[in-house]
């Protein structure tokens, strides 16, 4: 699965790639869910979790859990009932992707060893510690400098198609 977003108004840049296993499924689902809500929410006040999960090929229970977490954090607003669902909170366009990442994966993810060695730190480093610290810093910079609003610039119809059709089936 790849998510493409506009870069400087010219073309698209791939931010999330599962083939490289850079980010968790939870983070990918959160980003895709928020973007789906942002685009579909332009035509109606709330988008139901079942619709989001179905169109993004994400297990419904898993997507609902992620959306509720984003709601509690103020990224989304929600409404119960027959016409309820989720909508972007008013200031969500300015939220950094790092915020979504910390909500789904936790802030310790960048501090943990890439080889999952318990005692990996500068004085007792794993074999790839230095290189991975650089990669982690670059990822952190991308997540910090990219907002939800940044990802929504450009052709929304094509973008919506890319997040709903270029995915792996529900497992």
Determine the Cα–Cα distance for residues 134 and 5; give it in Å rounded to an integer: 23
Average pLDDT over residues 10-20: 43
**Fold of the domain spanning 2-165:** Arc Repressor Mutant, subunit A (1.10.10)
The pLDDT score that the predictor gives to residue 27 is 93
What's the pLDDT tens digit per position in 70-113?
999 999 999 998 889 999 998 899 999 999 999 999 888 777 77
User: 92 exposed, middle or buried (CB, 10 Å; 0-12, 13-18, 19+)?
Assistant: buried
* Mean pLDDT rounded to a whole number for the chain: 81
Q: What global pTM score does this model have? A: 0.78
């Amino acid at each position: 699965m790849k998510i493409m977003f506009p870069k400087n108004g010219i073309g698209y840049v791939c931010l999330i790639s599962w083939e490289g296993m850079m980010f968790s499924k939870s983070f990918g689902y959160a980003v895709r869910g928020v973007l789906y809500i942002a685009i579909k929410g332009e035509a109606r006040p709330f988008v139901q979790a079942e619709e989001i999960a179905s169109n993004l090929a994400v297990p419904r229970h898993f997507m609902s859990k992620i959306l509720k977490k984003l709601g509690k954090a103020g990224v989304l607003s929600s409404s119960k009932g027959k016409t309820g669902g989720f909508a972007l909170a008013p200031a969500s366009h300015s939220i950094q992707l790092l915020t979504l990442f910390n909500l789904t994966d936790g802030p310790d993810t960048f501090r943990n060893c890439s080889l999952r060695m318990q005692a990996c730190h500068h004085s007792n480093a794993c074999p790839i510690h230095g290189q991975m610290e650089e990669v982690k810093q670059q990822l952190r910079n991308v997540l910090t400098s990219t907002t939800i609003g940044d990802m929504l610039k450009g052709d929304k119809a094509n973008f919506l198609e890319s997040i709903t059709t270029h995915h792996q089936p529900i497992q």
